[in-house]
Amino acid sequence: MIDLTCYAFAHNKYVSTTVRFLETVNGREKVLRLLQFSLRFISSISLFPILADLQAEINIVRKFLRFLKPIQNLQIAAKFYSNDSLADGATIRCLNIIRNLLFGVYLGLDQINLLRILKVLPTTLFYSKTVPFYTNLFWLLSLFCAISIDVLHVIMCCSSSTNKPASAKDIDDDKNLKAVKASMVKKRKVYVRKWLWDVMDTIIVLNFLQFVNNGDRLVGLLGMVTSWYGIQDVWGDCFYFSN
């Protein structure tokens, strides 16, 4: 009985996916982000001052996990720049380059915020106010690019699913045509989900910049949803590689 239990546990695909998920930096960072925004939401409806301290501690850990992450975004931008034969077109390619560069700057400035929190840099007006403002501003600009990319992708999917193929050589029967349309509908759902994700993140950063004031309850709730989206994506990748 024990042998069967151990064997089932050792070879269970969900256990393997969980282990792989927790081994990834992105997986742990997304879980901490979910916890951070959950605490923000709970603190908006409760009177426990310790929750604010926990949020601050989790925020520091997340900044450590994102250390040197701008290199990844610079590499992605370089890949988009060097590959000028993408099927999505030149506009989406340029927007992807700009988006990753802006997001890389955002992550780089966030490392300066970490150094200030660790007392490596002085707590002057520049480091405590100006740098955090521009950190969130670059995040906002990258989100504007991301939303534009999402909208263009949705438009492309809608036009592809409604237009008939140019020749019968490419798609020669209704069955294949339906399969192509189903694929376009599936892609459209993915891009609509990504658009909602980016819009919710935009609302969050607009509150961080104090351009709007929706309160911690809405910010916490939106942060929980977008964090869950991120966990789903990382989990899906880990589940794929575990099978």
Secondary structure of 136-155 in HEC code, one letter for each residue = HHHHHHHHHHHHHHHHHHHH
Mean pLDDT of 98-112: 97
Residue with the bigger pLDDT between 203 and 12: it is 203
pLDDT tier for residue 71 given thresholds of 50, 70 and 90: very high
CA distances from 45 to 40, 54, 58, 126, 243 (A): 9, 16, 20, 33, 42
Enclosing domain of residue 195? 70-212
Q: Element (H or E) spanning 70, and its range?
A: helix 70-82
Residues 77, 150 within the same domain = yes
In this predicted structure, which of 29-33, 84-88, 105-109, 111-115 has the lowest mean pLDDT? 84-88
Residues 38, 92 within the same domain = no
Residues 194, 78 within the same domain = yes
Chain-centroid distance of CA 145 in Å reads 14
The model carries a pTM of 0.88
188 contact partners, CB below 8 Å, separation of at least 6: 154, 157, 158, 161
**From CA 206, how far away is CA 169, in angstroms rounded?**
50
Residues 45, 79 within the same domain = no
Please tell me what DSSP assigns to residue 165: P
Nearest Cα residue to 104 out of 75, 128, 83: 75
Residues 44, 140 within the same domain = no
Residues 223, 204 within the same domain = no
Residue with the bigger pLDDT between 227 and 43: it is 227
**From CA 160, how far away is CA 205, in angstroms rounded?**
33
pLDDT tier for residue 170 given thresholds of 50, 70 and 90: low
**From CA 153, how far away is CA 165, in angstroms rounded?**
19
Residues 44, 109 within the same domain = no
Residues 52, 118 within the same domain = no
Q: What are 41-67's pLDDT values in tens digits? A: 998 887 777 788 899 999 999 999 999
Contact 228, 38 (CB under 8 A): no
The SS3 assignment for 32 reads: helix
Residues 53, 166 within the same domain = no
Q: How many domains does the chain have?
A: 2
The SS3 assignment for 10 reads: helix
Per-residue confidence (pLDDT) for residue 169, from 0 to 100 = 52
Residues 164, 220 within the same domain = no
Contact 84, 68 (CB under 8 A): no
Q: What are 3-33's pLDDT values in tens digits? A: 777 777 777 888 888 888 888 899 999 999 9
Q: How far from each other are the two terminal CA atoms of the chain, in whole angstroms?
A: 25
Residues 61, 77 within the same domain = no
pLDDT tier for residue 149 given thresholds of 50, 70 and 90: very high
Nearest Cα residue to 208 out of 143, 136, 147: 136
Per-residue confidence (pLDDT) for residue 8, from 0 to 100 = 74
Residues 26, 134 within the same domain = no
Per-residue confidence (pLDDT) for residue 241, from 0 to 100 = 62
